């Protein structure tokens, strides 16, 4: 059924309750590739709590994206086959504990009509809070509903994407993904068969299952962690990325990074196929 603008804008779902434990924190970190080198102490801090020499387990900032998996403002009645992730923008208010009970408040921010044959863009927000009611993170997701345009809503007003510098990148880092990485990452919540079922992937137009866009998003967080944040999760204030093309598990993701003050701009590519998979990336550091 077509989008009813007023109804979609009114959607909200407040006080959604979730909980997670250290197992979920470690699974997410492993799912985005941390710990591939079992002797790398800096990465092990995110996937292993230490025994003989105890150490605090660290939480990857973008764990926020799965801490309340499934939270949202409600049923949008979109053509799901035609819906793709457009962008994620997470603002971090305080570091996540390694285990917690949290709440999620979700609302719709904007709905843009790009035209009958061009689809619609829906931006919605989820605010995660701890048991005291203090904000942990604010997540803004942008969905591109390719089959739901032409409902008569506003077409202008979308936020402008972040512009990366035109100079040569200050750092370049290659991050290898595992052939089975999507099978691990899906255990964090996203069971979309596009990422695990070869037959489903072929019907969707892909030669094989693709990596979750949000796994690629986490990989870009990992790239900033290891280059400009010294593996310190508390250094992250914001992490933004636009999805432009999928990654196939097993491919190497090349991140190009630019640092200007406390802002790190980035893009990510798969050089073997000559495609850019993440555009307009921005991390704000403390």
Q: Which is the catalytic residue, given 105, 110, 148, 195?
A: 195
- Find the helix or strand (DSSP H, E) in which 30 lies: helix 22-31
- Contact (CB, 8 A) for 223 and 266: yes
Closest CA to 241 of 126, 89, 50, 122: 89
Per DSSP (E only), the strands in the chain are 12-20, 83-92, 100-115, 119-129, 135-145, 171-176, 236-243, 252-260, 263-270, 275-285
Strand partners, 242: 87, 279
Distance CA 234, CA 229 (A): 9
Distance CA 276, CA 269 (A): 4
Token reading at 49: 């709590």
Distance CA 27, CA 98 (A): 12
Q: Which is the catalytic residue, given 24, 148, 190, 239?
A: 190
Token reading at 9: 């804008």
93 annotated active-site: no
Token reading at 216: 């690629």
Distance CA 27, CA 253 (A): 20
The number of beta carbons lying within 10 Å of the beta carbon of residue 145 is: 21
Q: What three-state secondary structure class fits 105?
A: strand
Q: Which residues are catalytic?
A: 190, 195
């Amino acid at each position: 059924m077509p989008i009813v603008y007023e109804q979609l804008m009114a959607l909200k779902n407040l006080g959604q309750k979730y909980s997670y434990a250290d197992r979920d924190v470690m699974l997410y970190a492993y799912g985005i590739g941390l710990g591939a080198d079992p002797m790398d102490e800096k990465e092990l801090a995110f996937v292993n709590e230490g025994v003989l020499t105890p150490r605090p387990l660290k939480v990857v900032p973008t764990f926020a994206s799965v801490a309340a998996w499934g939270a949202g403002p409600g049923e949008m009645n979109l053509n799901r086959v035609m819906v793709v992730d457009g962008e994620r923008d997470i603002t971090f208010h305080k570091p996540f504990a390694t285990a917690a009970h949290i709440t999620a408040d979700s609302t719709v921010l904007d709905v843009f009509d790009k035209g009958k044959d061009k689809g619609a863009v829906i931006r919605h927000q989820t605010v995660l809070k701890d048991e005291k009611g203090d904000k942990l993170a604010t997540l803004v997701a942008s969905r591109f509903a390719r089959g739901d345009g032409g409902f008569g809503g506003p077409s202008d007003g979308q936020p402008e994407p972040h512009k990366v510098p035109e100079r040569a990148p200050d750092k370049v880092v290659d991050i290898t993904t595992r052939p089975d990485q999507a099978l691990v990452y899906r255990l964090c919540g996203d069971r979309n068969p596009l990422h695990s079922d070869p037959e489903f992937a072929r019907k969707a137009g892909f030669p094989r299952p693709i990596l979750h866009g949000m796994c690629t998003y986490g990989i870009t967080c990992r790239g900033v962690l290891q280059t400009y944040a010294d593996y310190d999760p508390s250094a992250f204030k914001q992490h933004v990325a636009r999805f432009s093309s999928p990654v196939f598990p097993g491919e190497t993701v090349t991140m190009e990074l630019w640092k200007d003050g406390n802002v790190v701009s980035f893009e990510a590519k798969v050089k073997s196929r000559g495609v850019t998979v993440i555009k307009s990336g921005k991390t704000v550091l403390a």
